[in-house]
């Protein structure tokens, strides 16, 4: 059975969308006829994405800055009329031992990975409630359950997001707004490469495998679509089974 998604006229905001999974998703949304709005801090990568497709727009945004999030999302709604979907892919994964992590480093991970999702949710949710339509997706990780050396801050945010999304989803379900999570597994992205050099990469590659951003697009498009009726759910991709033959 082949899945085909139609996003004609839909406006999908993708934070952290300049690279990796977010970049691949923005391309898929545009290919399906939707408007993808990438919010990121990587201006070079955003310029490349913007030039690649007329249906991709970009906004510079640090998601840890609540005032900037509120202002940017208001501008997006003013420009395009609404926000139909929000995919919170912005995250960082610095590697450091817990006892060597400074308060500033800890707060930076929390500010982007956790607070950033909360601020974006707050900025998008009222319009979705008013329209009685919308889908919000956050990213968790297998590290939320199993942990990983030198990744405690990252793992903590991904565990916290499970609790946040499952709670927030139950607040807005009566308004027909979906809030879900995806745990994409180990995916080869710039962030992954920076955090998993050498032995860690070999360990992942030889155990559960390392997938590509395209492997995650189907589940994301499904959760954004009207075909997905679930909320407060986690779609977990635990093994790097390729979405397409090589």
Query: What are 109-123's pLDDT values in tens digits?
Result: 999 999 999 999 999
pLDDT of residue 18: 96
pLDDT of residue 180: 98
Dihedral sign from CA coordinates of 232, 243, 194, 149: positive
Maximum distance among all Cα pairs of the chain, rounded to whole angstroms: 51
Taking alpha carbons only, the member of 32, 34, 35, 36 closest to residue 23 is 36
pLDDT of residue 1: 75
Taking alpha carbons only, the member of 122, 126, 115 closest to residue 161 is 115
Backbone φ/ψ region at 185: left (φ over 0), alpha (ψ -120 to 50), beta? left
Report the range of poorest mean pLDDT among 37-46, 59-68, 179-188. 179-188
Q: What is the mean pLDDT of residues 24-37?
A: 97
Catalytic-residue membership of 154: yes
Share of the chain above pLDDT 70, in %: 88
Q: Sheet containing 56-60: give its strands across.
A: 56-60, 35-40, 11-15, 85-88, 134-139, 177-183, 234-236
Higher pLDDT, 198 or 117: 117
Q: Rounded distance, CA 109 to CA 114, Å?
A: 8
In the predicted model, is pLDDT for residue 54 greater than 80?
Answer: yes
Q: Residue 211 to residues 30, 85, 182: CA-CA distances in angstroms?
A: 22, 24, 15
In the predicted model, is pLDDT for residue 198 greater than 80?
Answer: no
Query: What are 85-108's pLDDT values in tens digits?
Result: 999 999 999 999 999 999 999 999
Confirm whether pTM is higher than 0.85: yes
Q: What is the mean pLDDT of residues 226-244?
A: 83
What domains sit in the chain, N to C, each tagged with a CATH number? 11-236 (3.40.50.720)
In the predicted model, is pLDDT for residue 212 greater than 90?
Answer: no
In the predicted model, is pLDDT for residue 206 greater than 60?
Answer: no
pLDDT of residue 185: 79
Half-sphere exposure of 90 (CA within 13 A, CB side): 31
pLDDT of residue 45: 96
């Amino acid at each position: 059975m082949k899945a085909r998604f139609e996003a004609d006229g839909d406006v999908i905001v993708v934070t952290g969308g300049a690279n990796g999974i977010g970049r691949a998703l923005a391309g898929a949304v545009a290919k399906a006829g939707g408007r993808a709005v990438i919010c990121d801090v990587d201006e070079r990568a955003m310029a490349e994405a913007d030039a690649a497709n007329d249906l991709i727009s970009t906004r510079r945004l640090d998601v840890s800055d609540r005032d900037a999030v509120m202002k940017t999302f208001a501008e997006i709604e003013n420009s395009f009329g609404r926000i139909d979907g929000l995919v919170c892919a912005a995250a960082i994964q610095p590697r450091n031992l817990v006892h060597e992590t400074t308060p500033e480093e800890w707060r930076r991970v929390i500010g982007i990975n956790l607070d950033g999702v909360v601020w974006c949710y707050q900025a998008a949710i009222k319009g979705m409630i008013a329209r009685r339509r919308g889908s919000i997706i956050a990213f968790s990780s297998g590290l939320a359950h199993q942990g990983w050396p030198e990744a405690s801050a990252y793992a903590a945010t991904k565990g916290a997001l499970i609790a946040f999304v499952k709670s927030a989803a139950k607040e807005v379900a009566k308004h027909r707004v979906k809030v879900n999570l995806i745990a994409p597994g180990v995916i080869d992205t710039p962030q992954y490469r920076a955090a998993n050099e050498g032995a860690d990469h070999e360990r992942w590659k030889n155990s559960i495998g390392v997938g590509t951003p395209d492997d995650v697009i189907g589940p994301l498009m499904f959760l954004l679509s009207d075909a997905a009726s679930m909320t407060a759910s986690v779609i977990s991709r635990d093994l790097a089974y390729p979405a397409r033959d090589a």
